[in-house]
Amino acid sequence: MSGDFTEDDFLGGRLTLKQSADGFRAGMDSVLLGAAAPVKTGDHVLDAGSGAGVAGMCLLARVPGAQLLGVDLDPEAVRLCTENTARNNLSDTCMYNEGDVFDLPALVGRDKFDHVISNPPFHDPTRERVSPDASKAMAHGLWGEGRYDEAIGLWIEACLVALKTKGWITLINRTEALPAMLKALEGPAGDIQIIPLWPKAGEPARRFIVRARKGSKAAAKLLPGFVLHEADGSFTPEIDAALRECAALDV
């Protein structure tokens, strides 16, 4: 195995995925994103900004009858994802294409998917340092000064155009992105479900999952959410089941 890549197990060894050793690497956020999407057998899913492909492949391991298309701007990520679908026997239900999420309507069309999942790039260069690694900077969000909220809105807007009416969009991101995400969803989507992820009981949530339904008029809901770790640092039972046993998050 080249030192430029690693082979990493997910879902208790159900998936083995090759990832860049130095570039963007997927982890718990991606697995939980796949576990939170309310996908059913036969649904068509778009993974917008698919990165290492972990979210989509974890989702397909849980719902094997679904069909998934991943789109990412990084050609190396797309190449690795395509290789990983083959090694995990997912090539018949999962494919990845190179493309810009902001151009989704032109790339994939309008009103095409039952679900969109996405972990939008989250680094705001006006507030924090950006990785010197090009693939990490691209994956984490090199938007340009003063454009972070605008870019999050345009990202979600493009995802919603590709989503069918009454289809679900499921997002995961840091708490700082929540206002911009809600602003982009309100109006085009409803039944917005905000699901906090607390590192430990009593600590502020650093991540949120947000689900919403295109065209719905239902009111927004703040749901109970999930504590990730016990006091001793081990995963809580619900999170452990999602990470290791391929279980859905019961939201």
CATH code of the domain containing 190:
3.40.50.150
| φ/ψ (deg, to 5) at 193 | -115, 115
Do the domain assignments include residue 198? yes
Do the domain assignments include residue 32? yes
Tally of domains within the chain = 1
Q: Which residues are CB-neighbours of 49 under 8 A, at least 6 positions away?
A: 71, 72, 73, 101, 118, 119, 120, 121, 139, 155
pLDDT score at 66: 98
> DSSP string of 78-94?
HHHHHHHHHHTT-TTTE
> In this structure, what is the dihedral angle of CA atoms 212, 119, 100, 129, given to the nearest 10 degrees?
130
Interatomic CA distance for residues 75 and 27, integer angstroms: 20
pLDDT score at 21: 75
pLDDT score at 236: 98
Range of the domain at 78: 5-244
CA separation (Å) from 192 to 120, 187, 228? 17, 10, 22
Identity of residue 123: H
For 193-219, the pLDDT digits (tens) are 999 999 999 999 999 999 999 999 999
Do the domain assignments include residue 249? no
Do the domain assignments include residue 250? no
Do the domain assignments include residue 53? yes
Do the domain assignments include residue 251? no
Identify the segments of the chain with pLDDT beneath 70. Answer: 1-3, 23-24, 122-146
Do the domain assignments include residue 145? yes
| φ/ψ (deg, to 5) at 11 | 55, 50
pLDDT score at 148: 80
Do the domain assignments include residue 93? yes
